[in-house]
Amino acid sequence: MRMVICSTPVDDARTLATALVDARLAACVSIVPTVQSVYRWEGEVAQAEEALLLIKTTAARMPELTARILALHPYDVPEIIAFDIRDNEGNAAYVSWLAQSVAP
């Protein structure tokens, strides 16, 4: 299981989240509506108001999920960072639902 974080322009968050769940690449995408990001881009310090997506998926779906985000995301280099979700920690029923929700 994986938790993926991805920042995106606020106006694109719901569309991207819906596309990922609709394609069964994510069981759930939680949208944190507003975060302030400060980052270096093209040699300059930049700032942006973004939404943060918390995407729940499986390791098996990561290649397709990554490809879909890259295809749909408006940024040249979107943030796609994945963390393991341990099967034996947390709510076992939720982890089971997650796996079933993204099964092809």
CB atoms within 10 A of CB 32: 13
Domain annotation for the chain: domains and CATH numbers: 2-101 (3.30.70.120)
* Segment holding 90, helix H or strand E: none
pTM reported for the whole predicted model: 0.93
3-class secondary structure, 87: coil
> In b/e form, how buried is each residue of 49-72, taking b as 16+ CB within 10 angstroms?
ebbbbebbbbeebeebbbebbeee
pLDDT band for position 88 (50/70/90)?
confident
Residue 56: pLDDT over 90: yes
Say what the pLDDT of residue 90 is. 83
